[in-house]
Structure 1
């Protein structure tokens, strides 16, 4: 049975320097999702595009799902995206807070046992 991890971006998190295992993987995913594309000087493609800000919510959700899938598969190669939903606990109406469920690729599973 594949190992999965769910990351809810609407929940606060404590960043731990040197985190390993699932905690480290969760931090990698959170960092990718929380970074605006273009903000990292040596890798301007890292992070999520904000091109869908101010779009109608249904269109923004579709674009955000596609962007999350592409960026996580590229920058966190140890995982496979299984599901992307949006938190209903968002503090501001219309604010998209992704809840991402990923599966750890079998060739990397030994790192998490």
Structure 2
């Protein structure tokens, strides 16, 4: 089953999530919301955000590899499927994105 995740999904975060799917979706949202290099003592965590200041067609091409690699590294129970970039209607001129993932079945890692 595929799910859509965005960095804005952190509004209702529960750190002690007992539901496996919700936990994975939360973890992916945290990855997407965290710029790489911004976590002290854990600088490799997060996402290279250099694509956010580029034109839409270039940004999508630049975002695919960093998003896929960050999800593979930091949440191996999820598999990257696709990315959708769009202009945030609530913040004119700001680029936002959602990521489609599939949760790997029976993976207890």
Q: Which 5+ residue runs of structure 1 have no aligned equivalent? A: none
- Pairwise CA distance, 1:97: 1.9
Give the CA RMSD over aligned residues.
Answer: 2.2
Choose between structure 1 and 2 for higher RCO, CA contacts under 8 A separated by at least 6 residues: 1
**Residue in structure 1 matched with residue 79 of structure 2 by the alignment:** 80
Structure 2 residue 54 is matched with structure 1 residue 55: yes
**Residue in structure 1 matched with residue 99 of structure 2 by the alignment:** 100
Equivalenced residue count is 107
SS at match of 1:73: helix
SS at match of 2:4: strand
The structure with more helix, counted as a fraction of residues: 2
Distance 2:10 2:31 in 1: 16
Deviating runs (4+, > 3 A) in structure 1? 8-12, 87-90
**Residue in structure 2 matched with residue 29 of structure 1 by the alignment:** 28
Distance 1:86 1:10, change over 3 A: farther
Distance 1:74 1:81, change over 3 A: same
- Pairwise CA distance, 1:75: 0.7
The structure with more strand, counted as a fraction of residues: 2
Structure 2 residue 32 is matched with structure 1 residue 8: no
**Contact kept? 1:10, 1:87, Cα under 8 Å:** no
Distance 2:101 2:85 in 1: 14
Q: Which 5+ residue runs of structure 2 have no aligned equivalent? A: none
Give the TM-score normalised by the residue count of structure 1. 0.77
SS at match of 2:47: coil
